[in-house]
Amino acid sequence: MSTIQATSTLTDRYQTTIPDTVRKALGLTKRDQLLYTVLPNGEIRVQKADTVNDDVALNAFLKLLEKDIMENPQNLIPLSKERLAYWRSLGDGKQIDLDALLVNED
């Protein structure tokens, strides 16, 4: 994907319209939420917010995981074809109903 730049203007109420090119690039639709990240160098990143970002515990864990990976890349081990085949075999092509009750859950 190539770099896209666009400008917009802030209203008196600090609101702005996301330019069409940016909306398309981010796959935004009405009522989507945006996540703004301000980096130490002043750069601002805007991305479509996922529901994952709403989970405080999961988000904290993912940040911890990211920090550990960045500080200790030597600990990363590539996933072997054998291990991948093993994990894929566990599903065995079965459909899983995530809304179904768990065993002993009435």
Query: What's the pLDDT tens digit per position in 51-71?
Result: 555 677 888 898 899 999 999
In a domain, 105, yes or no: no
Alpha carbon separation from 101 to 11, 38, 86, 96, 106 (Å, rounded): 49, 41, 27, 11, 7
Is residue 48 within 8 A of residue 24, CB to CB? The reply is no
Alpha helices in the chain (DSSP H): 20-26, 56-71, 81-91
| Overall pTM surpassing 0.95 (yes/no) | no
In a domain, 65, yes or no: yes
Same domain, 43 and 1: yes
pLDDT tens by residue, the chain, 106 residues? 678 899 999 999 999 999 999 999 888 988 888 988 898 999 998 888 875 556 778 888 988 999 999 999 999 999 999 998 888 888 777 777 778 887 775 5
* Domain residue limits at 67: 51-91
Is residue 33 within 8 A of residue 17, CB to CB? The reply is no
Same domain, 38 and 56: no
Q: What is the reported pLDDT for 103? A: 75
- AA letter at 36: Y
In a domain, 41, yes or no: yes
Return the residue matching tokens 């109903």: 97
Same domain, 29 and 55: no
